[in-house]
Amino acid sequence: MSERRSSESGFPIKGVYTGADLPEDLDSRLGGPGEFPYTRGVYPTMYTSRPWTMRQYAGFGTATESNERYHQLLRAGTMGLSVAFDLPTQMGYDSDEPIAHGEVGKVGVAIDSIEDMRLLFADIPLDKVSTSMTINAPGSVLLLLYQLVAEENGVPGSALNGTIQNDILKEYIARGTYIFPPKPSLRLVADTFAYCRKEVPKWNTISISGYHMAEAGATPAQEIAFTLANGVEYVRAALAAGLAVDDFAPRLSFFFVARTTLLEEVAKFRAARRIWARLMRDDFGAKDPKSLMLRFHTQTAGVQLTAQQPEVNLVRVAVQGLGAVLGGTQSLHTNSFDEAIALPTEKAARLALRTQQVLAYETDLTATVDPFAGSYVVEAMTAEIEAAAVELMERVADHGSAVDAIEAGFQKREIEQSAYRIAQEIDSGERVVVGLNRFTVDEEEPYEPLRVDPTIEAAQAERLARLRAERDADAVARALVDLRAAADGTENVLYPMKEALRARATVGEVCGTLREAWGLYRPTDRF
């Protein structure tokens, strides 16, 4: 028998739910599928007309190696690519910079210039695939490199479909791959919104992420509260830059985790849609229905995977994926069972994709929309999480804004307290983790993880040296001067940035130019 008596968000879970537990105004809270407030899903037919987009997060070592993995995934039936970048790329440094030493190609692919991006997407039809890039502070740089490569292959920006994460605020809260202070970072986000509206209109310009906060220990209520509060801040930044809400809000997207606590996760996704719809309509006056729709990508919970008995993670991922689908996700990445040990092997990545395909094609999940609608327990939980999240959002607003709350350390403290509680529960055995603190084995079976070639760093440095020797140095210098002038002024920086990248300026040179203009952020900074 399960020992769980309270939800991850802290409210008690009853042994039996009845109609008395339903909100009195349930009908208005629900609406129909594809109707305000979108509790039952953002589209009228949801998966009954087509399944969610199946993505697999990949990227390691060199661009060539990652390209091979992408082709393997596409052959296996992946519908969208999701790119992981190494830490130097995420921080805007070239692979040959001293600070990058030891990290090149470790947690994702190393991208230093347009030449790497060409290799990364070689022979992939960019007008046919949807590409998600998990990149934040230099998100605009990687998007422009992608657009340049597409243009070289005859694919216009109007045909490109995908997402850049571009969510800098959660980096200050939970992850740490920020570069610039918050104000210029928000300006770069707003510039990206404006640029994509004109140049890459089908691109999702931001994926406002609760995933990383959840991985750091946030509860479901904290995850959606702090994520939606950040979303409010991005909307305000875009409005302050002169954009109309219905010009950019339809391209906003979100990114959440799916845990093994299936019922609460389903309720979380439904509550998040409801809160966002009301915020956009009532607080920002959005008129376009697409501005009210909270569309989101989901990734299964990496933090819940164990290195002990790793095959058990296949079961965890299936349950987590099921929760995401029942919650109405628009796209899904299922983690590989070996990710608690190392980068996933080809077989493990294929099994993760097969998990989604079984859910989509062997179950009856796609036969009906929002199958939990009206469920006593799920509707009660949805209302509980909604109330808890709204209360937390009000506490964020009490600081003045999400950024003010970040500066005060509010979100970080709340998440750390939750993470500490979870760790204590695991250590004491109160929270059961199969294979870790219960149902353990005396001896683990041997496992051979994927190894990253340690010579990648030297190879990338050689490529960079060759690039700098062959390119037109004067053209690069002029382009970087233009970029600096735009950064110092009010011009949209993406246009001169694109010309610098076209001239074969490196990611590190572009980000370095912006560092010179805007400075570096340190947690003690104020703005």
Q: What is the pLDDT of residues 281-315, one digit of tens each?
A: 999 999 999 999 999 999 999 999 999 999 999 99
Give percent of the chain above pLDDT 70.
97
Residues 378, 345: Cα–Cα separation, whole Å = 37
pLDDT attached to residue 217 = 97
pLDDT tens readout for residues 207-227: 999 999 999 999 999 999 999
Higher pLDDT, 123 or 60: 123
The answer, yes or no, to whether residue 527 has pLDDT greater than 60, is no
CA angle 275, 281, 285 (to 5 degrees): 145
pLDDT attached to residue 287 = 98
pLDDT attached to residue 79 = 77
Confidence class for position 60, pLDDT limits 50, 70, 90: low
Tokens 């939990």 correspond to what residue? 372
Mean pLDDT of 228-244: 96
Mean pLDDT of 257-269: 98
pLDDT attached to residue 4 = 59
Contacts of 395 (CB under 8 A, 6+ apart): 405, 410
- Is residue 12 within 8 A of residue 20, CB to CB? The reply is no
Residues 163, 107: Cα–Cα separation, whole Å = 20
pLDDT attached to residue 345 = 84
pLDDT attached to residue 450 = 63
Residues 376, 442: Cα–Cα separation, whole Å = 42
Mean pLDDT of 183-211: 96
Mean pLDDT of 196-205: 96
Residues 312, 439: Cα–Cα separation, whole Å = 11
The answer, yes or no, to whether residue 43 has pLDDT greater than 60, is yes
Q: How many CB atoms lie within 10 A of CB 440?
A: 12
The answer, yes or no, to whether residue 330 has pLDDT greater than 80, is yes
Give percent of the chain above pLDDT 90.
88
pLDDT attached to residue 1 = 40
The answer, yes or no, to whether residue 525 has pLDDT greater than 60, is no
Cβ burial of 240 (10 Å; 0-12, 13-18, 19+) is exposed
Specify the pTM: 0.91
Contacts of 360 (CB under 8 A, 6+ apart): 47, 51, 52, 54, 325, 366
pLDDT attached to residue 3 = 56
pLDDT attached to residue 344 = 83
Q: How many CB atoms lie within 10 A of CB 466?
A: 11
Residues 289, 61: Cα–Cα separation, whole Å = 42
Residues 267, 263: Cα–Cα separation, whole Å = 6
- Enclosing H/E stretch for 465: helix 456-470
The encoded tokens of residue 465 equal 């040296």
Complete edge-to-edge strand list for the sheet that includes strand 130-134: 203-204, 161-164, 130-134, 80-84, 53-58, 331-333, 296-300, 252-258, 206-209
pLDDT attached to residue 452 = 65
- How far lies 174's CA from each of 33, 215, 394, 410, in Å? 33, 9, 20, 12
Contacts of 243 (CB under 8 A, 6+ apart): 190, 193, 194, 197
The answer, yes or no, to whether residue 526 has pLDDT greater than 60, is no
Mean pLDDT of 46-56: 92
Which sign, positive or negative, has the C-alpha torsion 340, 346, 349, 351?
negative
Kindly report the backbone phi and psi dihedral angles of residue 55, in degrees, each rounded to the nearest multiple of 5, phi listed first.
-110, 155
Confidence class for position 342, pLDDT limits 50, 70, 90: confident
Work out the mean pLDDT of the chain and round it to a whole number. Answer: 94
pLDDT tens readout for residues 432-465: 999 999 999 988 777 776 666 778 999 999 999 9
Taking alpha carbons only, the member of 101, 109, 116, 106 closest to residue 81 is 109
The answer, yes or no, to whether residue 91 has pLDDT greater than 60, is yes
The answer, yes or no, to whether residue 126 has pLDDT greater than 90, is yes
Residues 258, 321: Cα–Cα separation, whole Å = 7
Residues 18, 333: Cα–Cα separation, whole Å = 34
